Chains A and B, each alone.
Chain A
Amino acid sequence: MENYIVEATVFEPRVELNFRDNKLLFSGESRPENVHTFYGPIFTKIDEYENYLKANPTSTVECVFKFEYFNSASSKSILDIIERLAKIKENIPTVNLKIEWYYDAMDDDMKEAGLEFEEITEMKFDFCEVI
């Protein structure tokens, strides 16, 4: 399956969906002009990834979130991504899904956002404080 990479801009995050290595990364700032246009293709890729994993079993999938900032519209899309990952874990129980949530040591709001996503999706996050 082809990897999917989006370079960061000042208002869009860097997205690295490295399907061959089973490593997914989202980093930077997210306040795209149109959340549907930006996140829509990512949802499609992750849905395709589920089928790819069924045909190509792997043990560990790592997903790293290193956001500096995201707006409220993006937060709904980020939740959608985590819910899609949770669905993969549910449908393919052999997959060990690791979610890392990075936040700046002073940024209580970013840590709180991670805790909220963890609570809603009932997924276990590893929280990584950046000093």
Chain B
Amino acid sequence: MKYDIKNEMMDLLKIQEQKPVEAYIGPFTFEKVNEILIETKTFLNQNEPDRLKSKRVYSVLVETMENVLKHAKKDPENPEAALLIYKDDEKYLVYVGNFVEKEDASSFKKRIEYLMDKTPEQLKELKMQQLKEGSISEKGGAGLGLIDIVMKGSNSLNCEVKLLQKDDCLFVLIISVI
């Protein structure tokens, strides 16, 4: 079944129509992700005086979109993913949504809850352990992406999952950078 990812996301997140800093809905390919990253980097360089915050937003974007590239369900009928970035006063809110298998959504959710339960010191310990003992997967991941997102994203990683039909899920990562 074909889904409208934008409507599903707006409905799930109860987002009011407001102008995002960056918005993209469509297939995520390395080339497209690269284009979005260059555009967002230019926006941040021109509009965000806090260079550390600017870099952290950029970093969170890289990791979340690479996560989608590696883990999104390969469904020809629903190849789309969505990225929305809003600026709310001093805070950036990043939403990245894509379709995943129900099982994957559940394991991602558990992993996020596990990481969000950790103190900054425990997260650093996990990161160091993964750096020392982990290896790079065939898909090119080092098992560090979510840890990095939590550390750079002001310890505010969250997710929303909407069960659509059968085993289809809309999975949305929500990160704020303060």
Q: Give the B-binding residues of A (Cβ under 8 A).
A: 10-11, 31, 33-36, 69, 71-73, 75-77, 79, 104, 106-109, 116, 119-120
Chain A: minimal CB distance from B159 (Å): 18
The answer to whether A106 and B52 touch (CB under 8 A), given A72-B63, A73-B141, is yes
- The answer to whether B58 and A72 have CB atoms under 8 Å apart is no
Determine whether B152 belongs to the interface, using a CB cutoff of 8 Å to chain A.
yes
- The answer to whether B144 and A72 have CB atoms under 8 Å apart is yes
- The answer to whether B152 and A109 have CB atoms under 8 Å apart is yes
Q: How far is the CA of A83 from the CA of B140 in the complex (A)?
A: 19
Q: Which chain B residues in 140-156 approach chain A with CB under 8 Å?
A: 140-142, 144-145, 147-148, 152
Q: Which of B6-14, B108-116, B126-134, B163-171 faces chain A?
A: B126-134
Q: How far is the CA of A31 from the CA of B148 in the complex (A)?
A: 14
Chain A: minimal CB distance from B53 (Å): 10
Chain A residues contacting B38 (CB-CB under 8 Å) are 10
30 example contacts (A-B, Cβ-Cβ < 8 A) are as follows A10-B34, A11-B37, A31-B62, A34-B140, A35-B140, A36-B136, A69-B58, A71-B66, A71-B145, A72-B63, A72-B144, A72-B147, A73-B140, A73-B141, A73-B142, A75-B131, A75-B142, A76-B131, A76-B134, A76-B142, A77-B136, A79-B131, A104-B51, A106-B51, A106-B52, A107-B55, A109-B52, A109-B55, A116-B128, A119-B128
